[in-house]
Amino acid sequence: MRRAHAALAHLGRHATAFMAGGVMLGLAVPPLAALAKPLLVPTLLIPLTLALVRLDWSAIAAWRRRPLVVALLVAWLLGVSPVLVWIATVPLVHVGFPPPLQVALVLMAASSPIVSSVAIALMVGLDATLAIVAVLVATALVPFTLPPMAQALTGVTLDIGIAAFMLRLALLVGSAFAVAWAVRRFVPASVLSRNTELLDGLTVLNLVLFGLAIMDGVTAFAVARPGYAAAALLAAFAFNLALQALGYAAFRGLGRRSALAAALVSGNCNMGLVLVALQGKAAFEVVVFFALAQIPMYTLPALLARAYRRLVGNAASGSR
């Protein structure tokens, strides 16, 4: 038990590096990806539960007093971002950009943020309370916004039963809140505060398993069609960074820590929800992009962690 605790704490201390390595392992060792595939849903939700265990819930509730900021951020995430991506990719299609890749990028931008963005925000010192408000509100609204946005911009029809989809989301997110409430109810806050590295380690372990699971079948496709895979990976990095930069610029007035959190949720989108909505009807080129897009989502926190902390630290020192 002590060794397991120490190992998880080590994962927590080097969270972003292990996240980056984990997603690459799924590509390098395809049998591991196939083995991890059944863990896709639980490993998607456990990081949200662990983040909720650590967050100050009163700070989350305080955002109710700033409804305009929340509304603008959600409108940006679910409405403005996909339109901007569509505008950027239309000219590219005319010069040979693969149409399935354009569809995948627009669907990515039209989705809600990944739930693990809350955990990542905690790890790198950003405003995790704003991140979770954005995740929860956008996730609740995306069944209503995604189908018309997909139809209008790409011509793709998403067969979503709104009631069933909302119930599924409510159960998934509600279960995370219920487990987190139980942990906070019965585990003293002092114990939780002393074990932040352990909680980070558990989060990283789940994120690594999720990264492995979503890579199932992608390596074989990349070997068969290396040109498309390379284009998809390049587009994933470019549009993730572009959306982060635009998100930061749009919400810079909130202060650096919150603006960086807005950037994080802008560029890191929950494509797992889109796959659920498509119900296996998506072209495999789209599925491959969704898998390869995990690489920037897992590696960029490691690459940008020092910059995040420096920017947040400078903002904090400047406010004294």
In a domain? residue 192: yes
In a domain? residue 95: yes
In a domain? residue 73: yes
Round to whole Å and give the CA distance between 293 and 188: 38
Round to whole Å and give the CA distance between 13 and 123: 9
* pTM, entire model: 0.81
In a domain? residue 318: no
In a domain? residue 317: no
Tell me the residue range of the domain where 129 lies. Answer: 6-312
Q: At a CB cut-off of 8 Å and minimum separation 6, what does 92 contact?
A: 102
In a domain? residue 24: yes
What is the domain-level CATH number for residue 92? 1.20.1530.20
Please list the pLDDT of the chain residue by residue as tens digits (320 residues): 566 556 655 565 665 666 666 667 777 777 777 777 777 777 777 877 887 787 777 777 777 888 999 999 999 999 999 999 999 999 999 998 999 999 999 999 999 898 778 878 887 888 988 998 998 888 878 878 888 888 889 887 766 666 766 676 677 777 878 888 898 888 887 888 777 777 777 877 777 787 777 777 788 888 889 999 999 999 999 999 999 999 999 999 999 999 999 999 999 998 876 776 666 666 788 888 988 898 898 888 778 777 777 777 655 444 44
Bridge-partner residues for 269, per DSSP? Answer: 113
Angle 169-170-175 from CA coordinates, rounded to 5°: 105
> Domain count of the chain?
1
In a domain? residue 136: yes
